[in-house]
Amino acid sequence: MSDRREFLRLTVAAAAGAAAWPAIASVSAQLPRRPIPGTDDSLPIIGLGNSNAFREGDVETSTRVISTLLEHGGSYIDCGGSSRFVVGEVVNQLDAADSAFIGSYFAGADDAAARADAERLLQVSGKPQLDLMHNYPEDAVPNWDRFRAWKDEGLTRYIGVARHRKEAYPQMMEVMRTGTVDFLQVNYSLLETEAEQEILPLAMDLGVAVTINRPFINGRYFEIVRGHDLPGWAAEFDCESWAQFSLKFILSHPAVNCVLTETANPRHAEDNIGAGFGRMPDAETRARMLDHMRSIAP
């Protein structure tokens, strides 16, 4: 049975047994992974963004969403501020310190404060080492030596820069050109395609792993497509929802390792994870998807 068919079968079974959520567990189809350049490591292609459930300290909802990701072989969870401690606690409770990959923001200017936060995250999550410490370029660029020191001493496996606006791309590319950036996190979707021009090709050239934020431009995408039918030809690449339409477009760009989907709704998490299975659009279909989106949102 294909992974996609297995994913669908288990999702239907989970929906039928919602009271027992999230007990679909051990037999779930596992998300495909893509290599982290220059390492033996890899990442599953769908991750979670920093959701309101994390921000509000809603442990029950956070647990349901994170469990859903992990049960399908997902790993990456993006979080910042106090959210990271909620995520760390849930990961520890789920005994998932090894399988979860936590990407978190650390300001570089105050080394002692950043280290205190890092130590606390290690303690609450049960991780021996942080996975990814990243930050906005305006903080990362002036403090990059400090970021590198954190990696050199083993506090974190990876360091990176993360932003969601094209105005930040020049600064992000400046730090990427030092050759010491492991991860880029940037916005990219059917409605925000600017990253295609320079920053994603540069990441491929330099061997920088890429995660994508704002796949649904923070929810506005769903307002734009509301009332429009998904085109029939979306079935040709195993796409069953507008969420998957966006995610499969993003995942079919060759620079992308993982897309970060923010949700506080486990059903939406299932929908988003479904985008990681089955066929992906080819170049011709990607162009058709863009044309279609422009006809909806000129």
Among 261, 266, 280, 289, binds ligand NAP (CB under 6 A): 261
Q: With binding defined as CB under 6 A, does residue 233 bind ligand NAP?
A: no
Site for ligand NAP in 50-69 (CB under 6 A): 50-51
Q: Which stretch binds ligand NAP (CB under 6 A): 140-148, 162-170, 195-203, 289-297?
A: 162-170
Kindly tell me which residue out of 4, 9, 164, 166 binds ligand NAP, with binding defined by CB under 6 A: 164
78 binds ligand NAP (CB under 6 A): yes
Secondary element (H or E) of residue 35: strand 33-35
- Does 222 help bind ligand NAP (rule: CB under 6 A)? yes
Residue with smaller CB distance to ligand NAP, 2 or 218 = 218
Task: Return the number of the residue (6 or 240) whose C-beta is nearest ligand NAP.
Answer: 240
Q: Output the smallest distance, CB 224 to ligand NAP, in A.
A: 12
- Provide the total of helices (H) and of strands (E) in the chain, helices listed first: 13, 10
Residues 84, 127, 214, 253: which binds ligand NAP (CB under 6 A)? 214
Give residues with Cβ within 8 angstroms of 172, minimum separation 6: 137, 161, 163, 184, 186, 199
Question: Judging by beta carbons within 10 Å of its beta carbon (0-12, 13-18, 19+), is residue 291 exposed, middle or buried?
Answer: exposed
Contact string 171-200 vs ligand NAP (x = CB under 6 A): --------------x---------------
Closer CB to ligand NAP, 71 or 271, in the complex: 271
Q: 291 is written with which tokens? A: 């044309």
Q: Residues 279, 240: contact at Cβ < 8 Å?
A: no
Site for ligand NAP (CB under 6 A): how many residues? 26
Long-range Cβ contact pairs of 54-59 (< 8 A, separation 24 or more): 54/79, 54/83, 54/84, 54/86, 54/87, 55/81, 55/82, 55/83, 57/82, 57/86, 58/86, 58/264, 59/86, 59/89, 59/90
How far is Cα 279 from Cα 155, in angstroms, rounded to an integer? 38
Stretch that binds ligand NAP, among 7-15, 90-98, 147-155, 265-273 (CB under 6 A): 265-273
218 binds ligand NAP (CB under 6 A): yes
Enumerate residues 20-49 that contact ligand NAP by CB under 6 A.
49
With CB under 6 A as the contact rule, which of the stretches 12-20, 21-29, 213-221, 279-287 interacts with ligand NAP?
A: 213-221
* Alpha carbon distance 91, 99 (integer Å): 9
| Residue 271 in the binding site for ligand NAP (CB under 6 A) | yes
Helical H runs in 72-219?
A: 83-93, 111-125, 137-140, 144-152, 169-176, 199-206
Which residues have CB under 8 Å from 259's CB, separation 6+? 45, 46, 47, 211, 212, 215, 247, 250, 251
Residue nearer to ligand NAP on the CB measure, 68 or 128 = 68
Give the nearer residue to ligand NAP in terms of CB position, either 118 or 184: 184
Which residues make up the interface to ligand NAP (CB under 6 A)?
Answer: 49-51, 78, 162-164, 185, 213-219, 222, 243, 260-265, 268, 271-272
